Amino acid sequence: MNTDFADWLRARPDERLRELVAARPELVTPVPAHVDGLAIRATSPSATGRALDRLDRFALAVVETLLVITGDDGPGLGYDALRAALARSVAAGQEPALDAPLRETVERLRGLALVYGPDDALRPAPGVRDVSEFPAGLGPPAAEAFRDHPPERLAALLDAVGPAGGDVAAGLPGGGDRTGGAAERLGRLLAAEGVVPRLLDGVGPQARAALEELAWGPPAGRLPNARREVGLEATRSPVEQLLARGLLAATGEESVVLPREVGLALRGGRVHRDLSPCPPAPAGTARDPALADRTAAGQAFTFVRTVEELCERWGVDPPGTLRTGGLAVRDLKRTATLLDLPEWVAALAVEVAYAAGLIAASAPVDGEWLPTTAYDAWRVRATEDRWAALAAAWLAGDRVPGLAGERDDRDRLLNALHPELRRPAAAEVRARTLAVLAAGPGLAPSADSVRERLAFEQPRRRGADRDRLAGFTLREAEQLGVTGLGVLSTFGRALLPGKDAAAAEALAPLLPEPVDHVVLQADLTAVAPGPLTSDLGRRLALAADVESTGGATVYRFGESSIRRALDAGVGADELVAMLERHSATPVPQPLRYLVADVARRHGRLRVGSAGAYVRCDDPAVLDEVMADRRAVPLRLRRLAPTVVVSRASRPTVVDTLRSLGYSPVAESIEGDVMVTRADSRRTERQPMPRPAGTVSGPDPEMVAAAVRAIRAGDEAHRARRHPVPAPDGQVPRSPSTGTITALREAIRQGARVWIGYLDSQGHATSRILEPARMEGGYLTAYDETRAAVHRFALHRITGVADLQ
């Protein structure tokens, strides 16, 4: 841990420390005992890498410029020198536009503790250099690149690089580190003005072309026998020309690197090729915002109904879970066919329903995918609220539906609902992609401009993965109704800050009003002039088949659909009454006849268990069945004028007779008619892992309390303050609810409290605490009786009392 950095951090006002903790909450999980501990955690590789990943291209360029120009132990860089170095990398004429963004960026980097020091000595924080292998695509300094070369080789390189190098060989230090001084001098020579151009004049065009390929990074390459001994007179290839002049350094037996000084000379002194302080503006097609909102609202309504239909179908006929987890390919295809959707849209609906907790596996192994009990509560909510729940789950989720059907790096198929569809960066990329769309109201940005903007905002992210996730986001947002015609909708914009209620409120006026009536026609069809209410939609779907969809949905009644309703326990009179109640026109005569005819024949044959038996009050019907050659496989045998039996099972007899045009029903042992439509089944909602990308910022009061605890611990750490004795008297005792309330109030006010605490042996002890934060059943506080920061289990705190 760098002492200068810790002292700088200690000197920061509390307000700046609170900004640091709010921007990097992982630094106080748990709360460090003092500022030195905070500095150590802030400079750790994982924490530093996470902070650098949050930087945009310009902020990262500022950090990289400091890394390139400053050394590990050298002086810091002044603000004016930093600005001059960055100005060489921006396009001509853009230098004046650098001032405001640079000042803001430097302050932001200080706030993130990635850069520290005053304006006349800015330095990258310790740890930043360790996680930046090739800053700005430049290789290591020559002193580092050549440090492992033998003394004789370094002497030859010094002779080749500069006329003053001839007397260096005799002056090489002996002992253990015999090459350090020579390598540093070689670096100074290469950095001298005019040295690299002079060396380049002595190499051929192929050697120069090889250097140009390495100039803008990556600066490392592979070369067989890289450590070969090559003199200026013995060079036979372009690469040997570079090795002999120190323009390339061998870092291994088969690896070479371009020294930083050579790279900067090839770049003309620029650290970056084309640097812009401002993000690129989105480019695309302008759309009418009102039209985009109406289009998005239509998509939102359709997606809600799709999820509802999915859950209804899976509640009756659920698909099984694979042993490896997920949904089988054939089940996804069948679901897509039933929903009349492309497979990728069906996979999206399945994944969003899962993310929203509407479906879950009934068992980890050999279970089924079933709607959860939460689905029943979701189903009765208003359409806009249902959409907001689905869209929020999609936006915050870490699963990637677009990967369903692809294969992983081990050539294993990734099924929908498979555990391997999780990607930690998914939620962040979705939010950033929609934020790009929000930057241009009424604009449908092109996919290329979105990717270009994300590349500016997240330069350290893996580009290919980020671009794929962005592509999935644009496609899925359009399907969910978050966007319409490529434009972020008004209610989609309200969804971005996580305000589900505001998004639902903005969507409500744009949704079509559900209708509770249909138009019955003489051709045995029913036309729904708009979206039906959920109850009517389910009743009609039971008694009729969807023939076409669009502006109006057309349902067709047929013998099989009427029988399906009768099999489900709906009586003929009840069905006709329902149609009369919800029809804008009188029930046509042909439809009445169809219902009456199917009902008349329905249930005349009764199939029970023998193997199976068939009974009918009309012997003539059984005569007809016995005479039908197609019934021969059932091997029917007559026991009485109204009863025949079969060796086949009851379901087989029922299905066979239905295929012959009859309408049998199954009956129980007691002779009661069995409703053949399975009841909708449910499973318990499973807890979903909370994606890291959706975790909101820490509560300001918790941040302030954490900073107070760090300051108190630091004061004790530096002053070597002795522990404070606990007060005399009875150990505090209070109800658990009062204890929690008192601790929260102490955290809010920054006050000290006296608590009773049971140790591991169950003995009651007294503590004087300054509480910092309370979460997960634990209290983090500065313990004045121990002069250190500790975590206390809440269930062991017997009570809280104020200090007098």
Q: How confident is the prediction for the chain on average, in pLDDT?
A: 83
The pLDDT assigned to 352 comes to: 95
Q: What is the mean pLDDT of residues 766-777?
A: 81
**CA dihedral sign, ordered 154, 155, 156, 162:** positive
Please report which confidence band the pLDDT of residue 488 belongs to, taking 50, 70 and 90 as the band edges. Answer: very high
Indicate if the pLDDT at residue 607 is higher than 80.
no
Task: Return the domain boundaries, the chain.
Answer: 3-135, 142-266, 284-487, 519-601, 606-666, 695-802
The pLDDT assigned to 307 comes to: 92
Q: Which two tokens stand for residue 625?
A: 């069945």
Indicate if the pLDDT at residue 356 is higher than 50.
yes
The pLDDT assigned to 706 comes to: 84
| CA gap 732, 614 in Å, rounded | 80
Residue type present at position 45: P
**Which range, 107-116, 129-138, 524-533, 581-590, has the best average confidence (pLDDT)?**
107-116
411: left (phi over 0), alpha (psi -120 to 50) or beta: left
Indicate if the pLDDT at residue 526 is higher than 70.
yes
Place of tokens 């091997």: 635
Q: What is the DSSP letter of 439?
A: T
pLDDT digits (tens, 9 = 90+) for 71-85: 877 788 999 999 999
Residue type present at position 37: G
Indicate if the pLDDT at residue 548 is higher than 90.
no
Q: What is the mean pLDDT of residues 784-804?
A: 81
Please report which confidence band the pLDDT of residue 170 belongs to, taking 50, 70 and 90 as the band edges. Answer: very low
Q: Which two tokens stand for residue 645?
A: 């039996």
Q: What is the mean pLDDT of residues 234-253?
A: 81
Indicate if the pLDDT at residue 678 is higher than 50.
no
Residue type present at position 572: A
Indicate if the pLDDT at residue 694 is higher than 60.
no
User: Nearest CA to 706 among 17, 10, 13?
Assistant: 17
The pLDDT assigned to 685 comes to: 64
Please report which confidence band the pLDDT of residue 110 belongs to, taking 50, 70 and 90 as the band edges. Answer: very high
Place of tokens 């100074």: 188
**Residues with Cβ within 8 Å of residue 465, at least 6 apart in sequence:** 423, 425
Sequential DSSP letters for 622-649: HHHHHH-GGGGGG--EEEETTEEEESS-
| CA gap 674, 682 in Å, rounded | 21
Q: What is the mean pLDDT of residues 489-518?
A: 85
Q: Which residue has the higher pLDDT, 251 or 347?
A: 347
Please report which confidence band the pLDDT of residue 487 belongs to, taking 50, 70 and 90 as the band edges. Answer: very high
pLDDT digits (tens, 9 = 90+) for 389-438: 999 999 999 999 999 888 877 888 889 999 889 988 899 899 999 999 98
The pLDDT assigned to 489 comes to: 93
The pLDDT assigned to 677 comes to: 52
| Inter-residue contact 482 to 299 (CB < 8 Å) | no
Which of 13-22, 44-53, 82-91, 639-648 comes out lowest in average pLDDT?
A: 639-648
Q: What is the mean pLDDT of residues 188-216?
A: 86
Q: Which pTM value belongs to this model?
A: 0.71
Which of 115-124, 579-588, 675-684 comes out lowest in average pLDDT?
A: 675-684
pLDDT digits (tens, 9 = 90+) for 560-585: 888 888 887 888 888 888 888 888 88
**CA dihedral sign, ordered 39, 43, 48, 54:** positive
| Inter-residue contact 66 to 124 (CB < 8 Å) | yes
**Residues with Cβ within 8 Å of residue 73, at least 6 apart in sequence:** none
> Between vectors from CA 571 to CA 570 and to CA 574, what angle results, nearest 5°?
90
> Between vectors from CA 126 to CA 148 and to CA 138, what angle results, nearest 5°?
50
User: Nearest CA to 330 among 209, 338, 71?
Assistant: 338
Please compute, for residue 623, the number of CA atoms within 13 A of its CA located in the half-sphere on the CB side. 4
Indicate if the pLDDT at residue 693 is higher than 50.
no
β-strand partners of 789: 782
| CA gap 262, 260 in Å, rounded | 5
Q: What is the mean pLDDT of residues 39-67?
A: 91
| Inter-residue contact 763 to 757 (CB < 8 Å) | no
User: Nearest CA to 61 among 360, 272, 218?
Assistant: 272
132: left (phi over 0), alpha (psi -120 to 50) or beta: beta
User: Nearest CA to 495 among 439, 445, 438, 455?
Assistant: 438
